[in-house]
Structure 1
Amino acid sequence: MSKEGYLIRHGSTVSEIVYVVLADGKVRFYDERHGAFIDEIGLSKTKLKIRGATPAEAYQCDHSFHVSVCRTQLVNGRQNPIGTPENFMLSASSNAERKEWGNAIHSWQRHYWREPQHASLNMSEDEEEAYFRTQYHYLYDLLKGSLRGKFLTKRRSLSASNRDEVGPTKAQIPPKSVDMSSLPISMYSYQQKVC
């Protein structure tokens, strides 16, 4: 099953809003829609565990889920785990969206050939852009109210040439009264202070 949209990805020190595409047996992360590639999770030859996460586990972000991916090797007709699993904590814009992402990732092999889920809504390109912009802004507000929300910095690009760039401080972020829909979808993340 192909699916795409904005999610919050929680790392050990940073939570960031990323555009996620599930296709061809991979979950790919981008800095924004049609943006730069950040990372990917391969789902082929793996054992997947997906479960809901409490807001406490996800830095007070609702609609969160945990994905555990462990590489496997076929031995005597059984898939045996190899190494330690990679764990990912993600937050969606709604409970329904969280369930859709969990189901899409878990059942990707059975439905990998289908069109993206949002394509079934038959939206125009402008409606599709508004749909994803709304999703982004909801996640922005959700993350802003989370435990990591007070450590707002502009997202650092994870490409090799831009790893050390740091953006505006919280004072430079427009106040909530500004109409966010008039602003370009910029990439913000919340960085937790590390002592």
Structure 2
Amino acid sequence: MNSSVRNKLITLIVLALIVVLAFLFGLDNKQQTTTVSTQQRSFPEFTSIALSNSEGVTGQQELTRMDITEHPYQLVNVWASWCGICKTEHAFLLKLHDKGIPIVGLNYRDNTAAAINVLSNDGNPYSKVISDPQGKLALELGVIGTPETYLVDADGQIIKKLLGVINESVWQNELAMYFDGEIG
């Protein structure tokens, strides 16, 4: 192989590596970015079975929209055991739970045993978990992917939709005011 061909081949390989690395970097940043949109719509009416109760014991408790409107404001967090980004968010949700923030989980297109296993091993930040194995409720909500979180008021109105991870920054900038009594 002459040096001209070798140099072109090396240049091509280096350029391909740069493109792949740029793509991976962009993908990672997109997954860590949270998009917030203001909503003016009702949370859909639904009837579903609870994945587990707050003690993590499976049961046949039926849940409806009334179960997610018990507080002036609550979060409905769409998650799944197979969602890697949800694992990133989980520790922060546990902190919110410990502060008394009401969070309802919507377990999206998941294996029941795997979801219960995650909650048993990693802690359960949810007061209730709606089981949505076929994703019907998620479809009605307009879920694009996991994690997504909805701020829902006592009237069942969706105030905000957050697509991506909730962390301290997102919490302080977008949600904390609703739970600190600043908005009423």
Shorter-chain TM band: under 0.3
**What is the TM-score with the length of structure 1 in the denominator?**
0.24
Tell which structure's C-alpha radius of gyration is larger.
2
Higher helix share: 2
Higher strand share: 1
**What is the TM-score with the length of structure 2 in the denominator?**
0.25
